[in-house]
Amino acid sequence: MAHGGGSEGGTGSGRGGAEGRLGAEFFTPGTSSFTEFLAAHRPELLSTRRRVPDGVRVAPDQVPHGTTVLALTYRDGVLIAGDRRATMGNLISQRDLEKVVPADDHTAVAFAGTVGLALDMMKLYQVELTHFEKIEGTPMSLRAKAARLAGMTRQNLGQAIQGLAVVPLLAGYDLTAPGGGTGRIFAFDVAGGPFEKYGFHSEGSGSPYARGALKKLYRPDMSRREAALAALQALYDAADDDSATGGPDLGRRIFPVVSVITEAGFERLPEPETEELSREMLEQRQSRPDGPAATP
């Protein structure tokens, strides 16, 4: 087999040596950030670095956008949830999009905004956390995880200005919090600014209505079931007033994604449980269309 140039085992930066051997950059001490490693050696693999031509703004009806996601802390940890709809302008582009993904054993991310870029960012973030733990031999702290996600969001600022914004929502269980483990929530703006939120938060086009619902329903001592019902009520209110947010679809059996993170780790609520809670919530709406009253 020939050595050296061409497509057969070339020696470009970050592309390995002859016969597919890893290049020197893989053995050179450097950053524990996988994103920074790619930026240095294979920047073309970072979707957040690609921009449409200068002066061009992408129309909102040309690319799918995810809508409403939320998170709230409860007695045992933190819950994170999202509706399933993606839209392109006034069209529904997808009815079963999953906007909540686990980042590691005790962290999850949900997103609103440009779907394609968001999915790439979530995958890269998962690798980022795994890479750090393998290099450093210890998991990142929750605040450091928020800082890393903020940096990745900031890298997308150029595309956000052109209409391709991604807004993540981070929820995690902090095992090292003073006084014992606890659920925490971090929100971000399109420029990557991280903000810790207390109690609950929501992002996306339906977020004002979801936050309004959570404001009247939230209690810090809720059980998992109570927290899940509150999240479903909030997503229903968002769907009721925001056409880009999808409510439970009984005909297609498509229901919001609801996940919890506790000391035991990440867990997505099983589909039968989410369906049961969604049907219970919809039955309650038959007698009270505007939803339950504020908790005394």
- Residue 9, class by beta-carbon neighbours within 10 Å (0-12 exposed, 13-18 middle, 19+ buried)? middle
d(C-alpha 294, C-alpha 292), whole Å: 7
Question: 248-255: which pairs have CB atoms within 8 A and are 24 or more residues apart?
Answer: 248/278, 248/279, 248/281, 248/282, 249/84, 249/95, 250/279, 250/282, 252/95, 252/96, 254/84, 254/95, 254/96, 255/84
- CA distances, 127 to each of 3, 131, 182, 233, 239 (Å): 32, 6, 24, 33, 33
Which residues on adjacent β-strands are paired with residue 229? none
Please state the φ and ψ torsions of residue 223, each to the nearest 5 degrees.
-75, 170
Annotated active-site residue 67? The verdict is: yes
d(C-alpha 202, C-alpha 98), whole Å: 16
Enter the DSSP assignment of 108.
E
Other Cβ atoms within 10 Å of 26 Cβ, number: 13
Tokens of 216: 């009247």
Q: Please tell me which residue in 35, 67, 262, 274 is annotated as part of the active site.
A: 67
**Do residues 14 and 24 make contact, with C-beta atoms less than 8 angstroms apart?**
no
d(C-alpha 21, C-alpha 115), whole Å: 35
Alpha carbons within 13 angstroms on the beta-carbon side of residue 105 total 10
d(C-alpha 183, C-alpha 74), whole Å: 8
Active-site residue set: 67
